[in-house]
Amino acid sequence: MKDRKTTWQGWLFIASWVLIALAAVLYGISEYTVNPHKGQVQENWSIVVFVAGILVMLVSRAAAK
């Protein structure tokens, strides 16, 4: 029973994948933005969201142990 995750750990894991998918969509949008400055800002935000998703995933995995 100890190997089983709790509900909040599962939700954290799902949230991490949602953040990673959101980062991919935001990066894709940034590639087609006409304004170069706006595209660079969107790309930077996509990197931040991706790193946040990875960190949330690591926290959820560490909490499961």
Confidence of residue 2 (pLDDT cuts 50, 70, 90): low
Closest to 26 measured CA to CA, from 10, 44, 9: 44
Question: Tokens 């087609």 identify what position?
Answer: 32
Cβ contact 22:49 at 8 Å: yes
Band of pLDDT at residue 3, cut at 50, 70 and 90: low
pLDDT (average), residues 4-10 = 75
pLDDT in tens, 10-53: 889 899 999 999 999 999 999 999 999 999 999 999 999 999 99
Going by pLDDT thresholds of 50, 70 and 90, the confidence category of residue 7 is confident
pTM of the model: 0.84
